[in-house]
Structure 1
Amino acid sequence: MRIPEETVERIRQSTDILEVINDFVSLKKRGSNYIACCPFHNEKTPSFNVNPSRQIYKCFGCGKAGDAVRFVMDIENIGYGEALRYLAKKYGVEIEEQEQTPEDLLRQNERESLLIVLNFAKTFFQETMQTTDEGKSIGLSYFRERGFTNPTIDAFELGYTLDQWDALLKEGERRGYSRDLLEKAGLILLKEGSTGGDKKVFDRFRGRVMFPIHNVSGRVIAFGARILKTDKNQPKYLNSPETTVYHKSQVLYGIFQAKQAIRQEDVCYLTEGYTDVISLHQAGIKNVVASSGTSLTTEQIRLISRFTPNVTILYDGDAAGIKAALRGLDMVLEEGLNLKLLLLPDGEDPDSYVHKVGADAFKTYIREQSQDFIDFKASRWLSEAGDNPLKRAEGISDVCVSITKIPDSLKRQTLSQRVAQVFHVSEQSVISEINRLLRKQQEQGKKDSERQQRSVDLSRKQPSGHPSASSEPSADDINALFAGVSDEPFQAETPVDAPASGKFYTDERIKPVRAPLSYQEEECIRLLINYGARELEPGITLCQYVLSELHEIDFQTSPYNLILTLFREAYSRGEILTAGDFLNRRPNAPGGPNDIEIQSQAIHMTTPRYEISGGWLKHEIFVPSEEEIAILADSAYRNILRIKKMLAEQRMATLQQLLRESRNKSPEEADQLLGEFMHFKRIDIEISSLLGTVISG
């Protein structure tokens, strides 16, 4: 059901966008704002900007923007109502809602419904372990034998499922959850029966201890389950299948419980198993996660990079552990993270070793035995090579391959010195080998790029730029220039290459041409949003000036025209809209379906990418601010002139085309077209003179 507007406002007032975003990425202060690498696209240099005073965020790389509610919606891929409930729970805001019925669930999107039913299953498994005889004697006893305390069991929400065919199914249906939803969540299985077309329906997890898998925000998205009895027909571990909410390559077990500790310790320990994470967490080493039995993936590494650039891989000391460590090594380096590796004594894993030596000794072992990747690889190559120079050369080349994965050239330079020291060779020979490998990679990349480019239309080019201004405009009144042209609203034709939606894509290979006029429309809207209520002279606001100058002129780019219309409607009621009216728009609120686009545009126009350094003031270097009345008035004046000039140029282009086709028209019609063309030509010349630009021929 819909959350009341007053409750929505309480949630917004209680929310701190820095706290919300810090749950998913590590923010660093820069000036009055905060920055991070964007969680919505892969990048090495931070372009994600958070403005705490306005409670908004903006990525200058991918264009994502919004407030705290929008961030939760985007990062969790959930709806508006579910994002509000998430924030309400986080900040203790009570929402008075009726208990959800099956009909309510049907009205929700599939993702939200799956999260609800998975949370039900988690609670069911917990209660089964704590309240049933089978749960206490088998499930709880197992966790006790592993040494897990009640706080640890609660922190990871561990549970148990009865050794019955349909215990969860019956309880789920009693609660109103459909079989279809339970199946989509990976909780039950449907199989064809042996007779007729009947289907057998039964629980996926039976007679197993349950390890809920959480996403970064703490929502249960899947389960890992371990069987405790000996059954050759059953796998020891059984995981949830991939669903709408669970993609195992993108998830790290324990990330929700570990994220704050990872941020505080500025290092993430990476293990392989559930119990490794739980045992280390209980021992006080809480900055630990696991790849959940899967090979390490790029998505998992990027998830770690949200919280720290430092990773230490903890693997078993056997051959399989060494192989796993080597497999993930280059992937971590390629993502720009700082890597160390630690192999435990043969026969030990993090779970067994921390129980054997204790928390303090384990921390000491990590500190003293962790190796950087060069030492890790070199020790194995050197022990194998002995006096064999060819083997040593092969080892040097192998280490250099790993160095080429590092995107930072300065790091590569530093590490080449380290390789030379470890292998007792000249630094120049190491640098030469790295350069050879880099050239080889570049040549291969060039070949791949050329193959891709053959399928791309190379004829589309980016426009050269904006009109320039070189001198001060005169004080002549230009309002009459457009008077009497037509009784209809003046609307130029939409250029072929101007996207009707106003969204300008940033694909590196194909860059659709953006209409030059759209830049001036954007600048006009930016001035209105930021300074609409400012007085340019006593009694004349910028909003009043702009709207009077643009009388009967509509913008050609959809989002800018929509915002302009909202300003006109508000001004007709005696109001002047401000930035806050756009930044705090509620999705699907009265005002149309474009509120998300409007909010995004407003954030883009109110969030400067760069700030003036405080050092400039220290050295008495002062930069004029556009907020100064004289500068603001001049900016608005020139912007209006450029818009009218471009409209005149568009109209002249249209008239020229009509004149070329005028051979089938009467002399009177041709003379009328020529007269109209000359009218707009005079307008173009006059505005060019006012702007101080070169007059077109």
Structure 2
Amino acid sequence: MAISNQTTEKVRERADIEEVVNDYVSLKRKGQNLWACCPFHQEKTPSFSVSPSKQIYKCFGCGKAGDTIQFIMDIEGVGFNEAIKHLAQKYGIEIEESNAPSTPEEIQQYNEKESLLIVLNYAKNHFAENLKSEEGRSIGLSYFKERGFDAEIIEKFELGYAQNSWDGLLTAGKKAGFETETLMKAGLILEKDGEKWYDRFRGRVIFPFHNLSGKAIAFGARILTNDKKQPKYINSPETEVYHKSDVLYGIYQAKQAIRQHDLCFLVEGYTDVISLHMAGIPNVVASSGTSLTENQIKLIKRFTDNVTVLYDGDPAGIKASLRGIDMLLEGGLFVKAVVFPEGEDPDSYSRKVGKERFASYLKEKSQDFIRFKIGLMWEESREDPIARADGIRQVIHSIGKVGDAMVRNLYVKDASRLLEIDENLIHAEINKHFLSQQRRKDWKEKHMDSPSPQEEFLPVEKPKTDYGNILMLQEKETIRILITYGWEKISEELHVCEYLMQETGELQFETPVYKRMFEYYKQALKKGILPGTDYFLQGNDNEIKQVVIDMVSHKYELSELWEKRFQIFTIKEADDLAKTVYSSVLRLKRRVVHKMLQETMEKMKSAEDADIQELQRVYMEVKSYQVTIDKQLGMVISN
């Protein structure tokens, strides 16, 4: 069944763009809008803008734009109905169903991904219920209690237990109506000999992985026996809804705390995350035993720019995982590190010393990545000058990963003092190994379709002016003025929309989307509706929505200080609306006329002699009209 229009409208009214986006990225106010690094593409300088007044978002880097519903569709990768359900749940709105038949698009939205999420969340509840069984209490629950996990933490992370049976989940799932194929696609069961199936997780405690909205997407499972033939941990395979390189364990439970503290602690395993929560430190996530990936770093950066990596007291393990620091630096994060005493990890040490001493230890032992790496280097190369030189290079190479030039320069000064090396030598090493490569990389990305440096000096044919594109831009500008100021008056008796309708009535918009918008506008006026930006944003035409957001979003804003403090006033288009509208109409007519002139000239090139004279007459008539428009336009501009 489809979701009713009433529910959709309630969601549109209640869902606040700032609140919704803030669940995924850390927004900072600048002027009238809120800004962040875009969650849809990698960037170091924020270009993702949220307008609370217009209830829209727009990325000036990748072009993603929309309202609250579109944001959830984009960020969660779900269809329209699922986005409505997500927001309805967030705002406590009861979902009403419509008797109208679902459209093909709505049916398609309820696809394999939705089916997998449903069965995975069924499995999560099944594993949680197993903790109440006799086997679950004696094995699974006993293990959690031994680790100090109380009922609150078990519920918070939705921990569970997979019974030690061949097909317990399979049998229960089929009884609940799930197909064997769906259970297998979700990674919950395995196939044997082409005709038999059995549970993937058996006799293990279960740690669910959640997506940002709190739905279970995968599971990690730990064995509780000393069976050397079995791996200690097994995880769900990759599926349509779970890609391990994109996921961090505990991100759902930690995201608000990470934003609140503006800091993320990064650990290795599930129990490390849970132990820190129990120690009163909820802003923690785990890479879950896998090497840190770019997408995991992007996920952290949605909520903070600051990361503290917690290392077990194992020198070999620390050395093996140092590459993660360089990746974090490349991802634009500020990195610190804490090393626990030898033989300890975050889980064991927090339980050993208690909450207060553990929190104090994190504060006292936290050090920036330079001091951390220098300390490791001195330990390993006390008596070996060659090894020491190699260690120094590694420290310098890490500094070279820092993208912000000012921050990088401060790190160079710090390293120069600590290593007793001239700053110029450090800069030279950085330039040699990193900056030159980075410049080439940046140049290639920026000039992907441009000629190489050598080709730039070759003579090129001057491109012909694309008058069709120029006309499209002017049509866009005319529509922008229409939907922005349509209800404003340019005289005592004349509205902007009335004037534009009169002056453009004989013109035909050539760009399809602007033609549709113009027609929708006229239809709305006939119904007694004055259609502004909200009218188009709440429609079903996604192309029009994108166009409207692009029209009303501005990358740069004039600071109020110009007027308030310095008494510097700028002329705005709304200050003289009559002139703005009149000028826009003249420019549109001029673009249309110019295009007509070009088309007439092209026809003359291939016309028969008998037709040349008529085409010349048409050309001169249109040219005369252009001269008249130019005079009028010149008068408007010079006033």
Q: Structure 1 length as normaliser, TM-score?
A: 0.85
Which of 516, 520, 536 is equivalent to 2:490? 536
Q: Does 1:312 align with 2:308?
A: yes
| Letter in structure 2 aligned against 1:304 | I
* Deviation (angstroms), 1:190: 2.4
Query: What residue in structure 1 maps to residue 217 of structure 2?
Result: 221
1:89 aligns to what SS in structure 2?
helix
Query: What residue in structure 1 maps to residue 553 of structure 2?
Result: 607
Distance 1:291 1:177 in 2: 31
* Deviation (angstroms), 1:231: 2.7
* Deviation (angstroms), 1:350: 0.6
Query: What residue in structure 2 maps to residue 150 of structure 1?
Result: 151
* Deviation (angstroms), 1:410: 0.8
Q: Are the aligned partners of 1:321 and 1:343 in contact in 2 as well (CA < 8 Å)? A: no
Distance 2:356 2:311 in 1: 19
Distance 1:16 1:192 in 2: 53
Which of 635, 647, 656 is equivalent to 2:580? 635
Distance 1:537 1:222 in 2: 64
Q: Are the aligned partners of 1:24 and 1:217 in contact in 2 as well (CA < 8 Å)? A: no
Q: Does 1:66 align with 2:20?
A: no
Which of 115, 118, 126 is equivalent to 1:116? 118
Q: Are the aligned partners of 2:268 and 2:287 in contact in 1 as well (CA < 8 Å)? A: yes
Q: How many residues align?
A: 625
Which of 361, 366, 370 is equivalent to 1:370? 366
Query: What residue in structure 2 maps to residue 79 of structure 1?
Result: 79
Distance 2:242 2:523 in 1: 46
Query: What residue in structure 2 maps to residue 381 of structure 1?
Result: 377
Query: What residue in structure 1 maps to residue 18 of structure 2?
Result: 18
Distance 1:259 1:234 in 2: 34
1:627 aligns to what SS in structure 2?
helix
| Letter in structure 2 aligned against 1:64 | K
Q: Structure 2 length as normaliser, TM-score?
A: 0.92
* Deviation (angstroms), 1:447: 10
Query: What residue in structure 2 maps to residue 475 of structure 1?
Result: none
| Letter in structure 2 aligned against 1:76 | E
Distance 2:222 2:4 in 1: 44
Pair 636,444 (structure 1): closer, same or farther in 2 beyond 3 Å? closer
Distance 1:620 1:94 in 2: 51
* Deviation (angstroms), 1:435: 2.6
1:689 aligns to what SS in structure 2?
helix
Q: Does 1:516 align with 2:516?
A: no
Give CA-to-partner distance per residue, 1:100-155, whole Å, 9 cap, x none.
xxx9998712222211111111111111212x111111111111111100000000
* Deviation (angstroms), 1:446: 8.4
Give CA-to-partner distance per residue, 1:295-331, whole Å, 9 cap, x none.
0111111111111111000011213431244120110
Within 5 A, what are the aligned runs for 1:305-344? 305-344=301-340
Q: Are the aligned partners of 1:396 and 1:419 in contact in 2 as well (CA < 8 Å)? A: no
Query: What residue in structure 1 maps to residue 624 of structure 2?
Result: 682
Query: What residue in structure 2 maps to residue 180 of structure 1?
Result: 181
* Deviation (angstroms), 1:390: 4.0
| Letter in structure 2 aligned against 1:579 | T
Question: Which 10-residue stretch deviates more, 3-12 or 526-535?
Answer: 3-12
* Deviation (angstroms), 1:229: 2.2
Query: What residue in structure 2 maps to residue 502 of structure 1?
Result: none
2:209 aligns to what SS in structure 1?
strand
Query: What residue in structure 2 maps to residue 413 of structure 1?
Result: 409
Question: Which 10-residue stretch deviates more, 170-179 or 337-346?
Answer: 170-179
Query: What residue in structure 2 maps to residue 271 of structure 1?
Result: 267
| Letter in structure 1 aligned against 2:586 | L
2:266 aligns to what SS in structure 1?
strand
Pair 461,607 (structure 1): closer, same or farther in 2 beyond 3 Å? farther
Within 5 A, what are the aligned runs for 1:37-116? 37-96=37-96, 108-116=110-118
Distance 1:205 1:106 in 2: 31
2:508 aligns to what SS in structure 1?
coil
Within 5 A, what are the aligned runs for 1:442-521? 442=438, 445=441, 515-521=469-475
Q: Are the aligned partners of 1:122 and 1:220 in contact in 2 as well (CA < 8 Å)? A: yes
Query: What residue in structure 1 maps to residue 599 of structure 2?
Result: 654
Pair 36,677 (structure 1): closer, same or farther in 2 beyond 3 Å? same
* Deviation (angstroms), 1:670: 2.4
Distance 2:438 2:128 in 1: 54
Query: What residue in structure 2 maps to residue 579 of structure 1?
Result: 533
* Deviation (angstroms), 1:419: 1.0
Within 5 A, what are the aligned runs for 1:420-439? 420-438=416-434
Query: What residue in structure 2 maps to residue 590 of structure 1?
Result: none
**Root mean square deviation of aligned Cα:** 2.7
* Deviation (angstroms), 1:608: 2.7
Distance 2:577 2:462 in 1: 29
Distance 2:261 2:373 in 1: 26
* Deviation (angstroms), 1:258: 0.7
Give CA-to-partner distance per residue, 1:487-531, whole Å, 9 cap, x none.
xxxxxxxx6x96xxxxxxxxxxxxxxxx11122111111111111
| Letter in structure 2 aligned against 1:674 | Q
* Deviation (angstroms), 1:238: 0.9
Query: What residue in structure 2 maps to residue 2 of structure 1?
Result: 2
* Deviation (angstroms), 1:574: 4.1
Query: What residue in structure 1 maps to residue 101 of structure 2?
Result: none
Question: Which 10-residue stretch deviates more, 546-555 or 521-530?
Answer: 546-555
1:316 aligns to what SS in structure 2?
strand
* Deviation (angstroms), 1:65: 1.5
Within 5 A, what are the aligned runs for 1:613-632? 613-616=559-562, 617-628=564-575, 631-632=576-577
Question: Which 10-residue stretch deviates more, 47-56 or 433-442?
Answer: 433-442
Which of 555, 564, 580 is equivalent to 2:509? 555
2:313 aligns to what SS in structure 1?
coil
Which of 257, 262, 265 is equivalent to 1:261? 257
Q: Are the aligned partners of 2:78 and 2:109 in contact in 1 as well (CA < 8 Å)? A: no
Distance 1:463 1:205 in 2: 64
Query: What residue in structure 2 maps to residue 482 of structure 1?
Result: none
Distance 2:114 2:426 in 1: 54
| Letter in structure 1 aligned against 2:499 | Y
Pair 341,212 (structure 1): closer, same or farther in 2 beyond 3 Å? same
Q: Are the aligned partners of 2:80 and 2:109 in contact in 1 as well (CA < 8 Å)? A: no
Pair 604,319 (structure 1): closer, same or farther in 2 beyond 3 Å? same
Question: Which 10-residue stretch deviates more, 547-556 or 113-122?
Answer: 547-556
* Deviation (angstroms), 1:191: 3.2
Distance 1:359 1:464 in 2: 71
Distance 1:627 1:232 in 2: 76
Percent of paired sites with the same residue:
49
Distance 1:552 1:42 in 2: 46
Structure 1, unaligned runs of 5 or more: 194-198, 466-494, 499-514, 588-594
2:308 aligns to what SS in structure 1?
strand
Pair 17,446 (structure 1): closer, same or farther in 2 beyond 3 Å? closer
Q: Are the aligned partners of 2:209 and 2:249 in contact in 1 as well (CA < 8 Å)? A: yes
Pair 413,10 (structure 1): closer, same or farther in 2 beyond 3 Å? same
| Letter in structure 1 aligned against 2:484 | N
Distance 1:517 1:600 in 2: 19
Distance 2:244 2:317 in 1: 21
Q: Are the aligned partners of 1:543 and 1:576 in contact in 2 as well (CA < 8 Å)? A: no
* Deviation (angstroms), 1:80: 0.8
